[in-house]
Structure 1
Amino acid sequence: MSINLAKGQRISLEKEGGGSLDYIEIGVNWGAIEKKGFFGKKHVAVDLDASIGMFDAQGNLVDTVWFRQLESKCGSIVHSGDDRTGDTGGDDGEDNEVIKVNLNQVPSNVTTLALVLNSFSQQNFGEIPFAGIRIHNGKAGSGSEFAKFDVANDPTFAGKVSMIMGSVYRHNSSWKFRSIGVAIGEKDLKASLAAFSRDYTN
């Protein structure tokens, strides 16, 4: 059953039949900006980047999965690749970027995964016609979405180019998900992960 989480909510990641969940996917879907020109409509590319920072218990960044490193050094996290445009024919319902996380392969020294979204092209979220994030319990499209964010239509995101989606963190012998969903003033991934370490790893 799908669970829609509110900001700040936390849930244990468990399989529907019981037991700890060992695999999740983070999908981001967005559209290019449509503008009127002399010869009809034209599309302005939007380059959003989904990334994951891997932190230890002291809040130190251990590894980063992003468009310049599509797989974590341990192999537990894999990025589908960089989409630099967004949908140009309206919302096709498909995720433009997907990050796959095998939780049972994450090294024991990594205690927290930071899920971050940045507008590399620096268009702020309020300019983008649609932008949504879906976090899936298992594979995307399997009806197992447990958290989503409507970034483009959230007024608190207007004027911002970075956000923290949430975090996945160890709790005893299993994993929990924390829905954060806040826009931040930082302009790039490095600064966004520093903000996460400062505000959300304690």
Structure 2
Amino acid sequence: MTQGGNAPLTAARVTVEVTAPKALDVSGLLLTDAGKVRSDADFVFFNAPHGPGVTHRPASGGTPDAITIDTSAVPAGITKIVVTASPDEAGATFAGIEPTATVRDADSGQVLVTFTPPQLGRETALIVVEVYQRGGAWKVRAVGQGYANGLAGIATDFGVTVEDEPAPAAATAAPVTAPVAPPVAAPVAPPLPQSAPPMPPAPPAPPAAAPSLTKVTLDKGRVSLTKGGSVSLEKNGKPFLSSVRMGLGWEPAGRGRNIDLDASCIAFDAKREKLDTAWFMKLGIFNGAVVHSGDNLTGEGGGDDESITVHLDGLPPEVCGLVFVVNSFSGQKFTDVKNAYCRLLDAGSNQELVRFDLTQSEPHTGVVMCKLVRQYSGEWVMTAIGEYVDAKTARAMVKPAASML
């Protein structure tokens, strides 16, 4: 199978094996139509190996970690099971160890489909495949969606509870992380589950508590980000709004000097390929889902110098990331600029939700300010970047922006 492809399941019971050049931890999550687990019991992994219709098989004697799914035993209301993988070694990425998923008939062992995702990089966790129900039939889809914040990012996206305290020593022989921090987008998660040796059959136990991992949301109001920080655009566990505006501003560092900076929004797909760019020469993209306010030639005056409005609900499904960049079209360096910032506002009420102040400048002509990344669950996460590059046009910003998704 190729990424995004799907195939019908020809067996009621299937085993999804995931292999790579290095040891992996494999898990499964049972999801409803809302894309969330019903409770933590729907998170199946080595330390909680039994779920309704879904079981985890630990690696042993050359047999890889696997998730077995009995579609006839999956409860009503569960329409999708996602199979995830993460390197067993804490902090390791998938760079150079792209995994292969082999879907077998669980009874006969016959191979039904295989899938290896395209080249990966700094991803520390991966949604490999999903087994889903469509029109009363079960199918399998090749996903290959990576996360930079480990298994924690995946689990959080799908509603697994985040605990504030680490589990007691007896329960943490194999620590567990439970939810992407804002994905796509995000700090490295705590150590991931370690493979455990086969154990005698035992009654199912509730999932172990997770190490400390804070998911920042808009529940407590306005959020100020520092470089690398992320915030989920959720409130009370639900999407907070559908239309936002990214305001970008700056001031000339010296009196009497005009600084012509240009703000742009570059849209990418799941493979980090550019889809389109909203900038001062193209003010609207995706039929008005992203709209640029127009060019400001000086950076003078109060308030935002340029703004870009995004109607999140109007974005095509292939849009997975929006990167907001500022470049100096006239070639002046950012050392000639002060008080550069970006802020996210509710486009309806004009209420400021998130702010990121760029406290330091560097002698370059472009800066990647921040990104909005759509998680696999549909949740949007904003991450402050603040990385300077040498680029004077929106076109020249595409490659560095893609590398920071």
Task: Say whether 1:19 aligns with 2:224.
Answer: no
Q: Is the 8 A contact 2:268 2:320 kept in 1?
A: yes
Q: 2:329 aligns with which of 120, 124, 127?
A: 120
Within 5 A, what are the aligned runs for 1:1-202?
1-15=221-235, 19-20=238-239, 21-32=241-252, 34-35=254-255, 43-87=256-300, 92-128=301-337, 130-139=338-347, 142-150=350-358, 153-154=359-360, 157-171=361-375, 172-197=377-402, 199-201=403-405
Q: Which amino acid aligns with 1:60?
A: E
SS in structure 1 of the partner of residue 307 of structure 2:
strand
> How far off its partner does 1:6 sit?
1.5
Structure 1 gaps of 5+ residues are: 36-42
SS in structure 2 of the partner of residue 31 of structure 1:
strand
Q: For each residue in 1:5-30, what CA deviation from the matched residue of structure 2 results, as whole angstroms up to 9, or x when unmatched?
A: 12112221124x65213122111222
> How far off its partner does 1:34 sit?
4.2
Q: Which amino acid aligns with 2:280?
A: F
Q: For each residue in 1:112-137, what CA deviation from the matched residue of structure 2 results, as whole angstroms up to 9, or x when unmatched?
A: 10111101121111112x34223224
Q: Is the 8 A contact 1:124 1:159 kept in 2?
A: yes
> How far off its partner does 1:141 sit?
8.1
Q: Is the 8 A contact 2:326 2:367 kept in 1?
A: yes
Which range is displaced more, 23-32 or 105-114? 23-32
Q: Is the 8 A contact 1:7 1:180 kept in 2?
A: yes
Residues 70, 10 of structure 1: alpha-carbon distance in 2 compared, 3 angstrom cutoff = same
Q: Which amino acid aligns with 2:373?
A: Y
> How far off its partner does 1:149 sit?
2.0
Q: Is the 8 A contact 1:28 1:131 kept in 2?
A: no
Structure 2 gaps of 5+ residues are: 1-220
Q: Is the 8 A contact 1:74 1:107 kept in 2?
A: no
Q: Is the 8 A contact 2:321 2:372 kept in 1?
A: yes
Residues 180, 106 of structure 1: alpha-carbon distance in 2 compared, 3 angstrom cutoff = same
Which range is displaced more, 43-52 or 21-30? 21-30
Q: Which amino acid aligns with 1:49?
A: D
Q: For each residue in 1:27-46, what CA deviation from the matched residue of structure 2 results, as whole angstroms up to 9, or x when unmatched?
A: 122234645xxxxxxx2321
Residues 109, 185 of structure 1: alpha-carbon distance in 2 compared, 3 angstrom cutoff = same
Q: Is the 8 A contact 1:25 1:136 kept in 2?
A: yes
Instruction: Give the root-mean-square deviation of aligned CA atoms.
Output: 2.1
Sequence identity (%): 30
CA distance in structure 2 between the aligned counterparts of 1:141 and 1:96, rounded to whole angstroms: 19
Q: For each residue in 1:55-81, what CA deviation from the matched residue of structure 2 results, as whole angstroms up to 9, or x when unmatched?
A: 111111111000000011331011110
Q: For each residue in 1:99-124, what CA deviation from the matched residue of structure 2 results, as whole angstroms up to 9, or x when unmatched?
A: 11111111101111011110112111
Residues 190, 44 of structure 1: alpha-carbon distance in 2 compared, 3 angstrom cutoff = same
Q: Is the 8 A contact 1:126 1:158 kept in 2?
A: yes
Higher Cα radius of gyration = 2
> How far off its partner does 1:195 sit?
1.3
Residues 112, 121 of structure 1: alpha-carbon distance in 2 compared, 3 angstrom cutoff = same
SS in structure 2 of the partner of residue 7 of structure 1:
coil
